[in-house]
Amino acid sequence: MKYISTRGQTAPMDFSDVLLMGLAPDGGLMLPESYPQIDSATLAAWRKLSYPELAFVIMRLFATDIAEADLKDIIERTYTEAVFGSSDITPVRKLDDNLYILGLSNGPTLAFKDVAMQFLGNAFEYVLKKKGERITIIGATSGDTGSAAEYALRGKDNIEVFMLSPHGKMSAFQRAQMYSLTDANIHNIAIKGMFDDCQDIVKALQQDADFKAKYNLGTVNSINWGRILAQIVYYFKAYFAVTDAENSSTDTKVSFSVPSGNFGNICAGHIAREMGLPVDRLIVATNENDVLNDFFNQGAYHPRPAEKTYVTSSPSMDISKASNFERFVYLLLEKNTDRVHELFDGVKSGNGFDLADVMEAVNSRYGFAAGKSTHADRLATIKDLHENFNDLIDPHTADGIKVARELQREGEIIICAETALPVKFAETIIEAVGAIDIERPAHTQGLEDLAQHVTVLDNDAELVAQEIRNGVTANA
């Protein structure tokens, strides 16, 4: 399996190299030359597998340059009951007729990012040791990616982590989770701006060829193919769990509703569908930052500047430039790399684009739909589930459920992808249901009382570059 760039100017590469590199040298995103095709007999065989077994058979199709025994070892060390709280890893629970919640938030940082990031941490360490190299991870987070990455990479050999977050824009729990870490290889930087500003700095440094080479820059943001690969697995696992619960046939189709900001999680679902998983629709659920909702309903993609991006009660989705969206547009435009390059260079310059002429393929060929949710919708959904189903959910998951209910067709089975545990967003939960004790795992008790360590910087890529120079030198 070889990997190519969405912009067509990068030579085919192996998985191990793609894992470490982040953005392609031509500024595009790496993805496989083609997606493996899974037939019904294989699906039937995979249905019986445990989570680690399923992860192995899927990942070995994509990570062909890693010895099978080594890949199996990485996966078996990653997906354990000790780390994720149950052998199911990503358990599914029924909410209502034909509506399910895929539990993705049982890892160390209580968010779906752990499922991929725990794998990435172990895979990074393995590949770096094989290559005899060090890597400097630079990432941007709107709330959950940062903590998941830091908990997966803390103390890992040959890895430095510099994580950018929007100053004052995350929940108190999210800030405490990241900034309280004291590991020497973890560096937190709060940028005076929005998430998109942080993301732009990461991309700018990634595209500085000399700086990238000198510090061996990589990324753990969802532009990293390794994260997408790890997320593909739980779409298959959820499909098997729900169709077993429904006593459905092997070819029964289900839909997924996914809270979406950066388009990474739902991109993994899109790839699972392309591989042959019987997915009917992929429902993109946005908050007030509804750029993706506009595209999937109107064909117009017009990212907002940071100053026009809303600060909402589902902060992990306060994003206007969806980094993974380019992977989908590449297929939508029938792999026309020149056109992809032109469109996303325009986005970088502050422009949007209109693809209304190909929207029929978006819906019929690729099965996408979209809706949006507001603060009032989130509160109402959280309150309804708590009172009528005895189920407490976080605000992002509420966005996904609100949109799923709104768009659900008669008889359509929808699985809603959970984003995080509600304790990470206590203020919004209490606003929705009143003052209650929100359950939290023992290892997070007293988290907000710990000393926090963060460097606050103006929105300037050079300031971040200097922090990296100083941090890497100090730990060299």
pLDDT digits (tens, 9 = 90+) for 246-298: 887 667 999 999 999 999 999 999 999 999 999 999 999 999 999 999 999 99
Is it the case that residue 474 has pLDDT exceeding 70?
no
Query: What mean pLDDT comes out for the span 132-155?
Result: 90
Mean pLDDT, all residues of the chain: 94
Q: Is residue 37 part of a domain?
A: no
Q: Is residue 425 part of a domain?
A: yes
pLDDT of residue 390: 96
Query: What mean pLDDT comes out for the span 237-251?
Result: 87
- Tell me which of 45-49, 216-220, 298-302 is least confident: 216-220
How far is it, in rounded angstroms, from Cα 459 to Cα 462? 9
Q: Is residue 223 part of a domain?
A: no
Active-site residue numbers?
113
Whichever domain contains 360, its CATH number is: 3.40.50.1100
Q: Is residue 304 part of a domain?
A: yes
pLDDT of residue 30: 95
How far is it, in rounded angstroms, from Cα 248 to Cα 206? 46
Kindly list the distances between the CA atom of residue 330 and the CA atoms of 277, 300, 442, 455, in Å, as whole numbers in the listed order: 20, 16, 44, 37
pLDDT of residue 250: 67
Quick one: which H or E segment has residue 111? none
Instruction: Read off the pLDDT of residues 33-74 as tens digits, 9 standing for 90 and up.
Output: 999 999 999 999 999 999 999 999 999 999 999 999 999 999
Please list the alpha-helical segments (H only) found in 105-160.
113-131, 145-153
Is it the case that residue 459 has pLDDT exceeding 70?
yes
Number of neighbours of residue 132 by Cβ within 10 angstroms = 7
Query: What mean pLDDT comes out for the span 160-177?
Result: 92
Q: What confidence category does residue 431 fall into, taking pLDDT thresholds of 50, 70 and 90?
A: very high
How much of the chain is helix, strand and coil, in % rounded to 5? 50, 15, 35
Q: How far is CA 227 from the centre of its chain?
A: 7
Is it the case that residue 450 has pLDDT exceeding 60?
yes
Q: Is residue 284 part of a domain?
A: yes
Is it the case that residue 212 has pLDDT exceeding 60?
yes
% of the chain exceeding 90 in pLDDT: 81
Is it the case that residue 472 has pLDDT exceeding 90?
no
Number of neighbours of residue 129 by Cβ within 10 angstroms = 11
pLDDT of residue 206: 87
Q: Which residue, chain included where needed, has tokens 């050999």?
A: 157
Query: What mean pLDDT comes out for the span 328-353?
Result: 94
How far is it, in rounded angstroms, from Cα 204 to Cα 207? 5
Is it the case that residue 317 has pLDDT exceeding 60?
yes
Q: Is residue 98 part of a domain?
A: yes
Q: Is residue 22 part of a domain?
A: no
pLDDT of residue 21: 82
Instruction: Read off the pLDDT of residues 344-372 as tens digits, 9 standing for 90 and up.
Output: 999 988 899 999 989 888 888 999 999 99
Q: Is residue 261 part of a domain?
A: yes
Instruction: Read off the pLDDT of residues 386-414 as tens digits, 9 standing for 90 and up.
Output: 999 999 999 999 999 999 999 999 999 99
Is it the case that residue 80 has pLDDT exceeding 60?
yes
Query: What mean pLDDT comes out for the span 440-444?
Result: 87
At residue 296, the 3 state secondary structure works out as helix
How far is it, in rounded angstroms, from Cα 190 to Cα 188? 7
Query: What mean pLDDT comes out for the span 69-91?
Result: 97
- Host domain of residue 101: 87-110+230-433
% of the chain exceeding 70 in pLDDT: 99
pLDDT of residue 218: 86
How far is it, in rounded angstroms, from Cα 198 to Cα 111? 20
pLDDT of residue 258: 98
- Structurally, the chain folds into a number of domains equal to 1
pTM: 0.92
- Tell me which of 56-70, 95-109, 178-192, 193-207 is least confident: 193-207
Query: What mean pLDDT comes out for the span 98-121?
Result: 95
